[in-house]
Structure 1
Amino acid sequence: MKNRGLTIGQIGERTGLATSAIRYYEEEGLVHPFRTDAGQRRFDRSDIRRLSFVMIAQNLGFTIAQIREVLRGLPEGRTPSKADWARISKRFRRDLDQRITQMEALRDKLDGCIGCGCLSMKACALYNPADGIRRKGTGPRYLMGDSPD
């Protein structure tokens, strides 16, 4: 099996992905199968881990472009090492930490003024008098990280 690679069906069984999804990820440059002499698509075993990573990263909200960028740093033709994955996770960790901070702010402030400029809550007159936060931009400024000062 190693010499001839895995079929798209075998990859689908191992990852739980539909073959159409695997083809899409191939078109997006996330996996790079090779072709047999008969022209059949074959995948390396390392593609199981790559595709599993793609599924996890998408569930965490990363875009295909972001995922493609980090996968470019992985070696082709061999299963990525622990060091390879550590390098990727370090890059994603910063973004995840930012998202966690934003989610905590959303959780803690959603029932109060979010700095959107509506001034419809009585409390907004205290938190955002005369819509002063508007000078920092549009949208829910407090939830986007701006402070009331």
Structure 2
Amino acid sequence: MPASVGLNVDMKSSPLTIGDVADHFGLPAHVLRHWESVGLLSPARVTGGRRRYTRDDLFRVASILRAKQAGLPLPDIRAFLAARDPAARKDVLRRNQRALHERIVALRSALDVVEAGLNCAHDDISTCPTYRAHLADLVEVGGSD
């Protein structure tokens, strides 16, 4: 998560604007507005309806970002953050845990292929036995003939 703006502000006396928070996390402000519209954020409002974010709001934005990185859809993130019952919160996380593990396995496999390609000295990578070994699970079509 980028932190391009130092937020060394006394959050009790100087709540942050939507622009401050967006800059801090490297997000466009419209993303924060969208998250608010779907019930993920609820910053305080001051005169003129301007949003003001507290330190708690920053932790909530950070939670949303990490959950998105883990592949959770916004409705599940909302359910996770809104759950007051630990069992309900864990149910949401368990539903997403398997998909995250599957993504990790797929990314590790993809990294293995990239590294095999980087370590290959063959002129034609498609004929390299080491490289091919990393692709074998995708090539196998069924039982032996």
TM-score by length of 2: 0.56
Q: 1:69-97: per-residue Cα shift (whole Å, max 9, x none)?
A: 101136xxxxxxxxx8xx96785356324
Contact 2:43-2:54 at 8 Å conserved across structures = yes
Could you tell me which of 105, 110, 116 is aligned with 2:138?
110
Percent identity for Structure 1 against Structure 2: 29
Q: Secondary structure of 1:30's match?
A: coil
Equivalenced residue count is: 106
Q: What does 1:86-125 align with in structure 2 at a 5 Å threshold? A: 91-92=92-93, 95-101=96-102, 104=105, 107=109, 109-113=137-141, 124=142
Contact 1:11-1:48 at 8 Å conserved across structures = yes
1:9 aligns to what?
A: 19
Instruction: Tell me, in whole angstroms, the C-alpha distance in 2 between the residues paired with 1:70 and 1:45.
Output: 19
CA separation of 1:43/1:102 partners in 2, compared to 1, >3 Å: closer, same or farther? closer
1:135 aligns to what?
A: none
Contact 1:15-1:48 at 8 Å conserved across structures = no
Runs of 5+ unmatched residues, structure 2: 1-10, 110-135
Instruction: Tell me, in whole angstroms, the C-alpha distance in 1 between the residues paired with 2:92 and 2:140.
Output: 33
Greater helix proportion: 2
Deviation at 1:57, TM superposition (A): 1.6
Instruction: Tell me, in whole angstroms, the C-alpha distance in 1 between the residues paired with 2:74 and 2:53.
Output: 20
2:45 aligns to what?
A: 35
Runs of 5+ unmatched residues, structure 1: 75-83, 114-123, 128-149
1:72 aligns with 2:82: yes
RMSD: 3.3
Deviation at 1:14, TM superposition (A): 1.9
Deviation at 1:46, TM superposition (A): 1.3
Deviation at 1:110, TM superposition (A): 2.7
Deviation at 1:34, TM superposition (A): 1.5
AA aligned opposite 2:63: F
TM-score by length of 1: 0.55
Q: 1:90-148: per-residue Cα shift (whole Å, max 9, x none)?
A: 853563245425764895843324xxxxxxxxxx2x27xxxxxxxxxxxxxxxxxxxxx
Contact 2:22-2:32 at 8 Å conserved across structures = yes
Q: What does 1:37-52 align with in structure 2 at a 5 Å threshold? A: 37-52=47-62
Instruction: Tell me, in whole angstroms, the C-alpha distance in 2 between the residues paired with 1:20 and 1:102.
Output: 28
Q: Secondary structure of 2:48's match?
A: coil
